[in-house]
Every structure is written in structure tokens, then in C-alpha cells.
Amino acid sequence: MSVKVRFFAQFRELLGTDIMTEPAAGTSLTTLVAEIAKKNREGYEAIFDKQGSFREFVIVMRNGKRVETADAGTTPVMDGDEVAVFPPVAGG
């Protein structure tokens, strides 16, 4: 199956965006994003904590719907999904 991952703001600077992946059936949202993020240590650490969970302020959306990051580890991705991962941009 095919899933597209979009990163925004500083996550994008570190990891790129519009990444097409071919995850195995049953792959969770957390695993999917972590696998991509691992290619850049700084990018991974910006999104995940030391336990491998999403940092509390990270926003994860699947097909335009927010997924609570606490549930992302048990939410499997589906063929054709589009996943967006972004931080709250804070500067002014």
C-alpha cells in the first residue's frame, strides 16, 4: 500500500515533505512517521521523545482529521492515506 507523509515548518526543514512510503499492512501511524524521521537524527528528536512517543505538542493529522498522538501508536495506516505532521509555529 501507498501512504503519503507531509511535514511542515521546522520538521520539513529537517526531513523534507511529500514523502511516499510503502508500509506493510498494520503499520501504525507512529511507526510510519518514526521510520521516516530516523533518517535525520535532529528531525527525529524534534518529533519524538526518548521513549519514542510523539512529543506532546506535535500535531498529527490523517486525511485532514486530527489523530490524538496518544492513539497514533495503535492507529494503523491505510492505503491512500495522507498523513500531516506539524508543530505549533510560535514566533512573532
Residues that bind other proteins (CB under 8 A): 8-10, 12-13, 56-57, 59, 61, 64-66, 84, 86-92
In sequence order, the β-bridge partners of residue 65 are 62
Measured from the CB atom, the residue of 14 and 36 that comes closer to other proteins is: 14
Q: Are 44 and 35 in contact (CB under 8 A)?
A: no
Measured from the CB atom, the residue of 41 and 66 that comes closer to other proteins is: 66
Q: Shortest distance, CB of residue 24 to other proteins, whole angstroms? A: 28
Q: Count other Cβ atoms within 10 Å, centred on residue 30.
A: 21
CA angle 50, 54, 55 (to 5 degrees): 75
Q: Shortest distance, CB of residue 34 to other proteins, whole angstroms? A: 19
Residue 15 CA to residue 13 CA, distance in Å, equals 6
Measured from the CB atom, the residue of 75 and 86 that comes closer to other proteins is: 86
